[in-house]
Structure 1
Amino acid sequence: MIMKHDHAPHSPVLVGRDPVVDLVRAGCLIIVVGLHAFMAGISIDGGRLAVFDATHGQPWFTVLTWLVQIMPLFFLVGGFASLTHWRRLRARGTSPAAYVQARLVRLARPAVITFGAIAAAFAVASLLGVPGDLLAQVGFRMGQPMWFLGVYLGVTALVPIMVRLHETVPRRTLLALTAGAVLVDLLRSATGLEAIGFLNLGFVWLAVQQFGFGYADGWFRRIDRCRLPAAALLGVGTMIMIGWAGGYSPNLIDNLNPPTCLLLVLGVVQALALTLVEPALRGLAARPAVTAAADAINGRALTIYLWHMSVLVGVALVGLAAGLPFPDPLSPAWWITRGYWLAAIALVMIIAARLLGRFE
């Protein structure tokens, strides 16, 4: 449904859930879980398990990251959902503090349960004599994706403020966030201090969230559809120029922690691409089976995200205990077994989500 909002009289405002956004959110989560499972390099060296990134330094994977780096899209559709949700609650008289409290509790509760269970599992493993270096490897790999939760908690807490800025000074807000992101990247490059780059956890992701607000308010739909492909290609060209001039890694996964301006531009490209394919996605989302699958995934999205690395490690340990072979990563046998590996992860993840989703 579309209505006019008092603070943005010239902007069509979407209220309620959008099946296309639901479908994209579910698709993004599938890509994240599948990508982490695919990247997992597991080998047996002298009877001991080793866990590492099998795709590190591979040129073909660098090219692939331009297709599978969907974290900006995640924050984009998250911005859409947050804007429409907050506007519905605000219309009912909900205060910003009540909104933030409810959102943080909903996000934090399953996280605390997950972290507690993982900590207990590591304690038991240590008591059973599992080598400390192996636990360190596994813990590092399991902890890597968890940055997202902390950042998402932060941008969620700022939704009422950022929506207000979007409705009153949208251009100036985006300009300030973009300028902040550029300045952080310049300072990081000039000083060599990598820690400075983590300021962009705020600037970059808040800016992409604002793009999501704009997507909900029809910014990108005002562009002539015939010009959308050219605009998206221009955005990709801008990314290439920025990457070359700024000395950024061409691997877009490497640009994630900390996020760089490349991901900010990628957010614009993905917003344009989503607008272009929206009619096709809307037809797909209208199919009952697709709707049911998207609802099932989104209804347990946080559970899936929090537990997917534990599932990955658990499947590997079961395979090791069963004496299954672990081919050398990137060997022909490794590629042949990828389908079985991903299918096993998917099956166990479905079971885990059904059992643990109650906490969400």
Structure 2
Amino acid sequence: MSIAELRSSTTTGTARDTGIDFVRALCVLGVVVLHSLMVGVTVTEAGPLFANASDGAAWITPLSWVLQVMPLFFVIGGFAGYTSLRRAQQRGGTAKEFVAARIHRLVLPAVFTIGVVGVVLTVLLDNGVPSDLVAIAGYRYGQPLWFLGVFLLCQVLLPLFAAAHRRAPWITIALLIATAVAVDAARNATGIDGLGFMNLAFVWLALQQLGFFFADGRIDSLSRRTRIVIGASAVAVLTSTFITGVYSPDLIANINPPTASLLLVGVAHTMLLSLMRDRVARWSRLPLPSRFLTFVTPRAMTIYLWHMPVLLAMAGASAVFAMTTGIELPEPSSIGWWMTRPLWLVTVVALTAGIALLLAGIEARRIPTPTRSAGRLFAASAIGTVAIVGLLVIGTTPLTAMIAVVLLTASLRLARPRHADSAAWPSRSPGSAATSARAMQKA
């Protein structure tokens, strides 16, 4: 299938873009691999020590240039969301149905995962595990949840920004980019790092907005030479910011809080993906890649939510093994440590895949006909975001996990219909609302 055919199928809604699905699945795998390499476990006389193996390590910078896939993930999220919304609207669906489906798809598996983690932390404390170790485990678990909160916000706002894109595409993305750069400038000028957290909205929304340009065919319509020049220019500007000290060459360091350097990464990745789109689409239809994306696509959120609990369990098991056998664990970043990483990575991927296989039914559950109330949907998204932010700011403990589960459950309830809403639903063909909601949830 050529780019022209891909663009046609995207516009008419006749087929999914398996190439884009394949790249998104690779992004999920990249996140799992990156986080797996960050786990460092050693045992000292004082007991087990859990740390970020990449702290101060020289290898993280070049590795981050390969595995910092979050900018591309948000671009693809914008592509998929814009395409899904347009297809559903062509079938008579609404933006409210899109938002309700997104809340359901993202929040439902999180409720179960956070609840299980809260129970496990309680069991560890009740069985005498030192509270400081449990606190570290809770902190490490909560760190990747920033993605859930931010992606939820971006997807909830997607219909509004999609409408802005249709009316004024260049002005909308320019304002988002300019604001992200201004936030970085203010942060650097004042020395107040907290200002950078405003870019949790502006950087990722700008990258999602870039995905709209990809979805409507504007990027693919550029000449091959133009796309090469744009991508190369983004890399050149990014490199100059490293040389001048504006941004860290460690792209992982540029994610907390996010900086405008990630916008340049997203532009470079998007141009590269556009240039290779035909080839990637062909690869995605080969037997092995096809099985890979078929497995990951309906389980992406489950994989993301469960890979960190798997890593923490493996880290704890490694510490217990060392303490009971007396076998010394290799120092993180040492030669011995790197020799054990292939087995470590294979085990992480296998265990996470096994859990995803068992629990994917939670993520796959279909949303009922959504509420008609925009106010309820806004409240649902706000409550869900607050629940995740609470875990990030306060930390994941048995109490905060319980509170988060209550809030996320409330978010799901608000995104579902009340009997009065369902009775008052505008006249349509039977089942059209539920059908369109299911279609949006699949994307």
Task: Encode CA deviations 1:124-152: one digit per residue, 9 max, x unaligned.
Answer: 10111111111122222111111000000
* AA of the residue aligned to 1:265: L
Preserved contact between residue 198 and residue 259 of structure 1 (Cα < 8 Å): yes
Partner residue, 1:238: 237
Bigger mean CA offset, 148-157 vs 66-75:
66-75
Structure with larger RCO (C-alpha < 8 A, sep 6+):
2
1:150 corresponds to which letter in structure 2? G
Separation (CA, whole Å) in 1 of partners of 2:92 and 2:7:
18
Q: Is the 8 A contact 1:2 1:14 kept in 2?
A: no
Q: Deviations over 1:266-322 (max 9, x none)?
A: 111111111122222112111133112102111110000001010111123333444
Cα drift, residue 64 of structure 1: 2.2
- The 5-angstrom pairing of residues 256-275 of structure 1 reads 256-275=255-274
Question: Displacement, 1:242?
Answer: 3.3
Aligned partner of residue 158 in structure 1, secondary structure: helix
SS of aligned partner of 2:276: helix
The aligned residue for residue 431 of structure 2 is none
- Listed one character per residue, the Cα deviations across residues 53-91 of structure 1 (whole Å, up to 9, x for unaligned) are 111122332122122111000001111110111111112
Structure 1, unaligned stretches of length 5 or more? 5-11
The one of 341, 346, 358 aligned to 1:355: 358
- Within 1, Cα distance between the matches of 2:270 and 2:308? 28
1:331 to 2:334 alignment: yes
For 1:9, the equivalent position in structure 2 comes to none
The answer to whether the 8 Å contact 1:17/1:84 transfers is no
- Structure 2: segments with no counterpart, 5+ residues: 364-443
Residue 307 of structure 1 is matched in structure 2 by 306
Deviates further, 257-266 or 24-33: 257-266
1:89 aligned residue: 88
Report if aligned partners of 2:77, 2:211 keep a CA contact under 8 Å in 1: yes
Would you say the 8 A contact 1:39–1:55 is kept in 2? yes
Tell me how far apart the structure 1 counterparts of residues 57 and 7 of structure 2 sit (CA, whole Å).
49
Q: Which residue of structure 2 aligns with residue 40 of structure 1?
A: 39
Q: What letter corresponds to residue 186 of structure 1 in structure 2? A: A
Alpha-carbon distance in 2 for matches of 1:103, 1:232:
31
Other structure's SS at 2:59 match: helix
**Corresponding residue number in structure 1 for 2:382:** none
Shift of 1:245: 4.5
Query: So what's the TM-score if we normalise by structure 1?
Result: 0.93
The amino acid of 1:199's aligned partner reads: M
Deviates more, 1:49-58 or 1:324-333: 324-333
What's the Cα RMSD here? 1.9
Partner SS state of residue 255, structure 1: coil
Alpha-carbon distance in structure 2 between the residues aligned to 1:194 and 1:93: 45
Structure-2 separation of matches of 1:151 and 1:308: 19
Question: Quick check: 1:346 aligned with 2:349?
Answer: yes
Paired residues of 2:36 and 2:345 also in contact (CA < 8 A): yes
Q: What secondary structure sits across from 2:42 in the alignment?
A: strand
**Counterpart code for 1:78:** G
Helix, strand or coil for the counterpart of 2:220? helix
- Does the 8 A contact of 2:74 with 2:207 survive in 1? yes
Residue-by-residue CA offset, 1:231-289 (whole Å, 9 max, x unaligned): 32211111122344462211110110111110011111111111122222112111133
Counterpart CA distance in 1 for 2:194 and 2:258 is 11
- The amino acid of 2:181's aligned partner reads V
Q: How many residues align?
A: 354
* 8 Å Cα contact 1:327/1:334 also seen in 2: yes
The 2-side partners of 1:280 and 1:46 are apart by 54
**Partner letter of residue 336 of structure 2?**
A
Residue aligning to 1:199: 198
Give the superposition deviation at 1:52: 1.0
Which residues in structure 2 correspond to 1:11-30 (within 5 Å)? 13=11, 15=13, 16-30=15-29
Q: Aligned partners of 1:320 and 1:181: how far apart in 2?
A: 42
